[in-house]
Chains A and B, each alone.
Chain A
Amino acid sequence: MSKFSKKKKGMPAINTASLPDIVFMLLFFFMVATTMRETSVMVKQQLPTATEVKKLEDKRLISTIYVGEAEDQKKYGEGDKIQLNDKIADVSQVRNFIFSQREPIPEDERDYMTTLIKADIKSNVGTINDIKKELREINALKVTYSTNIGVEK
């Protein structure tokens, strides 16, 4: 027998102990940096882009109305549809929707409530105006037209 024993065959096991750490780091990053998706959007959404935008901070005070063509056109038909919560709804239901959103907010913060209109770039201004008319009726006057944040050219 020689003094030098033959090397063991095959690759040595790679130490993967740090792999969970890395993945956990990623996980924590995502937990902190993101927010939960609350509704699944059932209308087509391609938002317009604008530069003069204001970021909305307090999610609690925002009620979102989605406008656009339905993804499932066989069921809902063509044309602009309005989505409140998880349902395709009619303009006349906007009122009750805002009231239900207003309910849990304390009295002194209700003035800061904003209605975020997320409308598809191709939808008609008429639909938006119908919504605005409803909002005026119930004194929900703060409106934000949702857009993507563009870069100044």
Chain B
Amino acid sequence: MARRDTPEINAGSMADIAFLLLIFFLVTTTMDVDAGISRRLPEKQPIDAPPPPVIKMKNVFEVIINRNDELLIEGEYHEIKDIKQMAIDFIDNGGGKGNPMPNEVDGKECTWCKGAKDEASSDHPNKAVISLKSDRSTSYGTFIKVQNELGKAYTTLRNRLAKELYGTTYTEMVDDLSKDKGNATLKDKIDKIKSMYPEIISEAETN
């Protein structure tokens, strides 16, 4: 039997079709991952709610941003780069007894704090409130920068604590958890560190 060559199929237009599809996907899709700074808003209080417990002024770290994006930290003018260290000093002060941790009746002193134990500064990380007040016309960019610096302060402290307790940083632990979602022991560790340095940031508006 005579061997017959199969005729070659012209696939020249295949590339064109694939390019067409490719360009379509390039145009209609985005690659960006949504990321951002997460915060939890305070719950709405009913009108007949009991007045909130009085917070001692020494447990409040006051950051005010004015309409010209200038910062007033604890009543003094400062720059954005100063916030982080000031916040760390304030949160980590540990000058007294804190709120009772879960499963405890009385508040204990902060044994993991390395701060100055200044009487005039915060008692305990779980009592230390950071109050961020901003003007209506404060620019959003500055607001985020300040939020970011405050976040950095907490991360620094948590990293330090995690290094002491578990030999790895908090950031690494969070990264590991995002890769291995079902890891319960790791999650417990992270929650423990979070409860030892809870992030308490209150955002208010001044006019």
| Interface, chain A (partner B; CB < 8 A) | 16-17, 19-20, 23-24, 26-27, 30-31, 33-37, 48, 50-56, 59, 62, 64, 67, 114, 116-117, 119-126, 128-129, 132, 135-137, 139, 141-149
Given contacts A24-B18, A52-B155, contact A146 B35 (CB under 8 A): yes
| Interface, chain B (partner A; CB < 8 A) | 11-12, 14-15, 17-19, 21-22, 25-26, 28-31, 33-44, 65, 134-141, 143-145, 147-148, 151-152, 155, 178, 203, 205
Name the residue in B19, B140, B147, B203 with the highest tally of chain A Cβ atoms < 10 Å from its Cβ: B140
Q: Output the nearest chain A residue to B31 by Cβ-Cβ distance.
A: A34
Q: Contact: A125 with B43, CB < 8 Å?
A: no
Q: Contact: B37 with A30, CB < 8 Å?
A: no
Q: Cα distance A86–B132 when bound, in Å?
A: 32
Least CB distance from B123 to A in Å reads 25
Given contacts A48-B141, A52-B151, A125-B140, contact A146 B22 (CB under 8 A): no
SS class, residues of chain A in contact with chain B: mixed
Q: Contact: A145 with B147, CB < 8 Å?
A: yes
CB-defined A-B contacts under 8 Å, sample of 9:
A30-B25, A31-B25, A50-B144, A52-B147, A56-B36, A119-B140, A128-B140, A139-B43, A144-B34
